[in-house]
Amino acid sequence: MNEERIGILYAAFAYILWGFLPLYWKIVEHVPPWEILAHRMLWSLVFMIFFILVIRRWHLFLKECRLIFTDWKTAVGISLAAIVISINWVTYIWAVNSDRVLDASLGYYINPLISILFGLIFLKERFSKLQWVAITFALTGVLYMTYHFGEVPWAAIILAMSFAIYGLLKKVVQLNAIFGLAIETLIITPLALIYIIHLEWIQVGALSLSWTGLLLVGTGVVTAVPLLLFAQGAKRIPLSLVGFLQYFAPTIMLLLGVFLFEEPFTTVHAITFTLIWIGLILYSYERVKVSQKV
């Protein structure tokens, strides 16, 4: 099996796991989203430290930490990335456990188009006419839903915007994927740990020698494993192929929301998603066309 096929398997499996992640959050939906987030941060850090030790990269991790925290610009950038991904995670958990899986799916469909818009604004990247058309379709879809439902799909917009900002920050502060997650969780974990201890002190915390406690510890595994798979896949396959595979996750979320969680999928949803899908098809076509010229 050649490297590209292995890369496709790694990346596809990562996106499939991300797509099915709502099932995990549904199991712990009796735990408040902020508490789940705190545990996700804490146990992700524990898992990543364990993993770094196993692969014998601890000395490189310490070197990366020293480089980051002796350069204030890099330190600010990675700290902002940690805050933004925390907002993304807690919004995602809240959306799933508030029966808004369709909103989560919508957010991750919109995200690539928000990312290219950020590229124009912050990185001075040039747009083709087709990319402008793609963004217009997505924007029309969101405005159509807002008009007919009388409310802005905030969860979807926060998810799309926060992940796009996170991607932008990661582009500016370039880090190894493994070390990146470890350092981001390291920055937030002190606050997360204080919050967990506070909840346990006032006896309202969910951490215990129970099934729920085990699931909360497991949030570190379900966070880190897909990212590690993605990191292995992304370095073996073209960016255009990564762009195509990323739609696995929101598509699985959409199917779960409609068929398993039985969230209402109205004509308004159908038109909104169709407009966004058209935008994504145009965007993907343009991306593939550009990559073939390189």
pLDDT digits (tens, 9 = 90+) for 39-98: 999 999 999 999 999 999 999 999 989 988 888 888 999 999 999 999 999 999 999 999
Spatial separation of the C-alpha atoms in residues 138 and 158, rounded to whole Å? 15
**DSSP secondary structure string for all residues of 159-228:** HHHHHHHHHHHHHHS---HHHHHHHHHHHHHHHHHHHHHHHHHTT----SSSHHHHHHHHHHHHHHHHHH
Nearest to 179, CA basis, from 38, 62, 11: 62
Residue with tokens 């995602």: 92
Q: Give the mean model confidence (pLDDT) for residues 247-269.
A: 93
More confident residue, 131 or 40: 40
Highest mean pLDDT among 1-5, 69-73, 125-129, 285-289: 69-73
pLDDT of 239: 61
Given a cut of 80, whether residue 176 has pLDDT beyond it is no
pTM listed for this prediction = 0.90
Spatial separation of the C-alpha atoms in residues 109 and 249, rounded to whole Å? 9
Is there a contact between 104 and 96 (Cβ–Cβ < 8 Å)? yes
pLDDT (tens digit, 9 = 90+) per residue, 214-245?
999 999 999 999 988 888 887 777 766 676 78
pLDDT of 291: 60
pLDDT of 293: 61
Is there a contact between 183 and 65 (Cβ–Cβ < 8 Å)? yes
Domain locations along the chain: 3-293
Spatial separation of the C-alpha atoms in residues 12 and 226, rounded to whole Å? 10
Q: Give the mean model confidence (pLDDT) for residues 161-178.
A: 83
Task: Categorize the per-residue pLDDT at 126 as very low, low, confident or very high, splitting at 50, 70 and 90.
Answer: confident
Q: Give the mean model confidence (pLDDT) for residues 282-294.
A: 70
Task: Categorize the per-residue pLDDT at 250 as very low, low, confident or very high, splitting at 50, 70 and 90.
Answer: very high
pLDDT of 178: 82
Spatial separation of the C-alpha atoms in residues 25 and 182, rounded to whole Å? 22
Task: Categorize the per-residue pLDDT at 256 as very low, low, confident or very high, splitting at 50, 70 and 90.
Answer: very high
